[in-house]
Structure 1
Amino acid sequence: MKKTKGEELPIRRQLGIAMVETYNIVYERSQDFFAVYGLTSQQYNALSILHDAGEPLSTSDILKRMMEKNAGVSRLVDRLIIKELVEKNVNTLDKRLIDVNLTERGKDLYNKVTTELSGVDDVYKGLTDKEVEVLLNLLDRMKQ
């Protein structure tokens, strides 16, 4: 039980703190995993979105599909361009739009990381499959 200035924190506040601490640990470990490939989790997410779409997408379409919503998708795409993982082209139907597409190098890296993605799940290795199911159910209930 966490305490502050001699008094015990309410249990639901302890839960909130524990969830933030756990998120930070999981996030940091996932960033470490993707850093091995020269990526961040957000960059991998963008590559995954483009791969799964099977066609070029605008930055606004990428943002709509991202797990972590942030307004910095244009900068994220620009970083992926520098790494030669994606390219931008003017949309042939609407010249005002810019399409983002995976390059061959981007496809290759996406496939390589994806085949080794189970390594990112190592952060949960202290839990049994049954405990993971229980935790997922509890988190689902919290979201309702």
Structure 2
Amino acid sequence: MSKAKNKAKPQSNTIALNKKARHEFILEDKFEAGIELQGWEVKSIRAGKVNISETFVTIQNGEAYLVGAQIQPLHAASTHVVANPERSRKLLLSRRELDRLIGARDRQGYSLIATAMYWKKCWVKLEFFTGKGKKSHDKRTDLKDKDWSRQKERIMKHSAR
């Protein structure tokens, strides 16, 4: 007799998303970085108390930092730890990636925008892009294109019947 295997549902590795980033910026090059976290932050992330909607990446003294991410401490956190939910967190990148980011920011005027935070095995990773801000007319054309593609799908769906 064989043992019955439990079929676990595949869970999403995504912790938090910045949905407004694609609307506000023209995103170009994608980067992935590890985040230097404290113990209470990992526990809060596991509980889902993260917000990265207004985050960006800055480079200071040759190091990359995540600024504006809010990780709310748990109520059951230790009392001897001073929890700062909006502190800057260091990003773990190679020297080559840092040099590319510094060049893109300084020479070409790109911003570094965080778009997603997710689990990769047991590590928390941050996905961010280099990008430039959109003007209001760019946003309008994107909305028109999105509406038109939605209408095309509806037309094709009804014509196939």
Higher Rg of the two aligned structures: 2
Task: Decide: shared fold, TM above 0.5.
Answer: no
Provide the TM-score with structure 1 as the length reference: 0.28
In terms of fraction of residues, the more strand-rich structure is 2
Provide the TM-score with structure 2 as the length reference: 0.26
